[in-house]
Amino acid sequence: MKKSRRIGLIMIISGATLWGLSGPMIQWFFHHTELSSISFLVVRLLLAGFFILSYLFFRKKNIFGIWKLPRHWIQLIIFAVFGMLGAQYVFIEAIHVSNAVTAMLFQFFGPVLITIYVAIQIKRLPSLTQFLAIITALTGLYFLITNGSVENVVLSKKAIAFGVLTMLGFTFYTLHPESLIKQWGTIVIVGWGMFIGGIVLFLSHQTFSVYSLTETLTINTFSMMILIIITGTLSFLFYIGILKYLSPTETSILASIEPLVAAIISVTWLNESFGAYQLLGGIFIIVAVIFLTIPKKEIELYAATQKVS
150 or 230: which carries more pLDDT confidence?
230
Angstrom distance (rounded) from CA 239 to CA 15:
6
Q: Which domain holds residue 105?
A: 3-308
Average pLDDT, the chain: 85
- The secondary structure of the chain, three-state, reads CCHHHHHHHHHHHHHHHHHHHHHHHHHHHHHCCCCCHHHHHHHHHHHHHHHHHHHHHHCCCCCCHHHHCHHHHHHHHHHHHHHHHHHHHHHHHHHHHCCHHHHHHHHHCHHHHHHHHHHHHCCCCCCHHHHHHHHHHHHHHHHHHHCCCHHHCCCCHHHHHHHHHHHHHHHHHHHCCHHHHHHHCHHHHHHHHHHHHHHHHHHHCCCCCHHHHHHHCCHHHHHHHHHHHHHHHHHHHHHHHHCCCCCHHHHHHHHCHHHHHHHHHHHHHCCCCCCHHHHHHHHHHHHHHHHHCCCCHHHHHHHHHHHHC
- Percentage of the chain lying above the pLDDT 90 cut: 44
Q: Give yes or no for a contact between 284 and 303, defined as CB atoms under 8 angstroms apart.
A: no
- The residue among 308, 269, 285 whose CA lies nearest residue 29 is 269
The pLDDT value recorded for residue 293 is: 66
Q: How many domains does the chain have?
A: 1
Angstrom distance (rounded) from CA 164 to CA 27:
19
The pLDDT value recorded for residue 136 is: 92
Q: How many CB atoms lie within 10 A of CB 170?
A: 22
243 or 170: which carries more pLDDT confidence?
170
Cα end-to-end distance, the chain, whole Å: 41
Q: Give yes or no for a contact between 18 and 229, defined as CB atoms under 8 angstroms apart.
A: no
The pLDDT value recorded for residue 304 is: 45
Q: Give yes or no for a contact between 261 and 21, defined as CB atoms under 8 angstroms apart.
A: yes
pTM assigned to the model: 0.83
Per-residue buried b or exposed e for 47-67, using 16+ beta carbons within 10 Å of the residue's own CB = bbbebbbeebeeeebebeebe
The pLDDT value recorded for residue 305 is: 43
pLDDT digits (tens, 9 = 90+) for 202-250: 998 877 777 778 888 999 999 999 999 999 888 877 776 665 676 655 6
Mean pLDDT comparison of 8-12, 226-230, 294-298, highest-scoring range: 226-230
Count of CA atoms in the C-beta half-sphere (13 A) of 171 = 17
pLDDT digits (tens, 9 = 90+) for 78-110: 999 999 999 999 999 999 899 999 999 998 888
- Least confident piece of the model among 44-53, 61-70, 113-122: 113-122
- The residue among 272, 114, 125, 264 whose CA lies nearest residue 178 is 114
The pLDDT value recorded for residue 154 is: 85
The pLDDT value recorded for residue 306 is: 42
65 or 9: which carries more pLDDT confidence?
65
Angstrom distance (rounded) from CA 22 to CA 230:
9
